[in-house]
Structure 1
Amino acid sequence: MADPALLVHTRTTDYRHESIPAGIAALRALGGFEVHAREDQAALEETLDRYAAVVFLSTSGDVLTPAGRERLAAYVEGGGGFVGVHAASCTEYGWPYYGELLGARFAGHPPVQPGRALVEDHDHPATRHLPPVWEVTDEWYDFRTSPRPSARVLLSADESSYDGGAMGDDHPLAWCRTQGEGRVFYTALGHTVEAWDDPLFLAHLRGGITWAAGR
């Protein structure tokens, strides 16, 4: 039996992360999924039912056409999986539904630096392999609001461990939620090229994708 397929969308109309090619290569190397990496808007205008999940890998700006927005919403509401990685929260600011789907929108970040991520929920495939305190070097995203009211927070930032955090004691970094019949997973990590060689980060992402895909 063929592996289930992922649509990995990497279109950017704003900042473009140099880690995108490393991310695509790492997702292909994870195994268990057939990865279809696309940048064209037509990718989201086609039928999405053949995909176990749609992954927005550091997308930025407005990346979808009206038809693509309609397809994606119908896909998730009908039971499809959606995964947002890093700059996926800097995407589709003009589409209110997308903010609801993801759970929070990007607000800003300090410079890339080491810090501590704290596991809030070990009972999830994206976090059960992680140490309670995970030392990470990344771009520590702040969000306009906490996703906590509508999401299950898995990982949060310890703002005392780095400079420039702006959310205080409630600073989620990775979470999951349901939208209609679908499952949504988001992680703010994945800025650096080096992150995509980190076994802990790759296992974190594999767990989130597997969960979102219902596997």
Structure 2
Amino acid sequence: MRSSIRSAVGLVAAAALGAGMMLAGTAAGNGNGNGNGLGGQPATASQIYLDEIKDYGVCRGLDPACYNEWGNGWVEGEQKRILIWSRTAGPRHAHLGTPLAPGLNPPLNADNVAQAGLKAWAEERGIAVDYTEDLASFSRLNNYQAVVFLSSNRDTLDDTAQTNLMQYVRGGGGFVGIHNAFGAEYHWEYYEGLLGGANFYNHGPNRDGTVETINGRDVSTSFLPETWAFKDEWYNLTPYPSFVNVLLEVDRATSEATVAGHGESHPVSWCQYYDGGKAWLTTLGHDAAAWTAAPLPGDEFFKRHVMEGLESAMGIKPFCAA
């Protein structure tokens, strides 16, 4: 079912109302000149947590004021480069195949179809790709305009890697989370916020569904029809994404939505600014055929959706148009 309350227009209106209410309330008059307690920094969504939605303590939402142009976004003339991170510390999706050998860019196995597919798609667009599942190689993130968490689940990062990711995002880096990236870092609230205040709860069986284009103005959706067929294990999420720009939903009957996670709407892709960086997110991508030449209805839509979203997070194309 199509969502309106979580559309970009609805969220901007809600943000304006919420911010006004907060500034008129207990947050006002704290002596720093802007009334938000953040020392003059932009607040946006952090001003409007009046409805029991968790505040992650960072600037996040749809306002580009939350972005820090500190050198991690792509600039004209620079080599385009991403890092694909697919380390799993729990159940491993079939599309990831056999765990990768240590180091940066180890030989890919025949069953590493998602890593190989995403790498090929990026290279088609002139984007250089590094990939790893080695914590020792999860470093020098400032070399990349985007870091892609590709179904990298459970406690995929150690303390050092968490710090590296946080500092990278704060410096204006791009983050792309795909499919079971939503099943990662359950005990790290910063990461939950990076996902849009959402986490994986459960899913129904892998099955055919109808995806609905909610926001056709973003570069990652502008080419999509209003509805299109795809096959996935449609994720139920709790917490439910908040103060984000919903791009795609799946119809409720297909999604087998749970009472805990979802009501009338069931988002599957969205974007937001977060703590200085850009985050583009999708729960789609379960079926191995989505990453290969095997036929799958909607796979060309999925491929372009991911790649346009990736380029927007990198700073190559406009980001998260409302």
TM-score (norm 2): 0.64
For residues 83 and 191 of structure 1, what CA distance do their matches in structure 2 show? 16
Match of 1:190 among 267, 281, 285: 285
Do residues 203 (structure 1) and 301 (structure 2) align? no
Identify the residue that residue 180 of structure 1 maps to in structure 2. Answer: 275
Higher share in strand: 1
Do residues 121 (structure 1) and 215 (structure 2) align? yes
Match of 1:56 among 149, 158, 170: 149
Output the aligned Cα RMSD.
1.3
Contact 1:82–1:185 (Cα < 8 Å) also in 2: yes
Contact 2:204–2:233 (Cα < 8 Å) also in 1: yes
Report the AA paired with residue 186 of structure 1: L
Q: Secondary structure at the match of 1:189?
A: coil
Q: Secondary structure at the match of 1:150?
A: coil
CA-CA distance at 1:2 after TM superposition: 7.0
Contact 1:76–1:180 (Cα < 8 Å) also in 2: yes
For residues 129 and 14 of structure 1, what CA distance do their matches in structure 2 show? 36
Do residues 29 (structure 1) and 124 (structure 2) align? no
Pairing 1:7-18 to 2, within 5 Å after superposition:
7-18=83-94
- Residues 87/163 of structure 1: CA separation in 2 closer, same or farther (3 Å cut): closer
Contact 1:60–1:87 (Cα < 8 Å) also in 2: yes
For residues 93 and 209 of structure 1, what CA distance do their matches in structure 2 show? 24
CA-CA distance at 1:83 after TM superposition: 0.3
Do residues 131 (structure 1) and 207 (structure 2) align? no
How many matched pairs?
A: 212
For residues 156 and 66 of structure 1, what CA distance do their matches in structure 2 show? 34
For residues 76 and 137 of structure 1, what CA distance do their matches in structure 2 show? 31
Match of 2:162 among 55, 66, 69: 69
Percent sequence identity over matched residues? 37
Contact 2:207–2:232 (Cα < 8 Å) also in 1: yes
The C-alpha deviation readout for 1:92-121, integer Å capped at 9, x for no partner, is 111111001111100100001111111110
Match of 2:193 among 84, 87, 100: 100
Identify the residue that residue 78 of structure 1 maps to in structure 2. Answer: 171
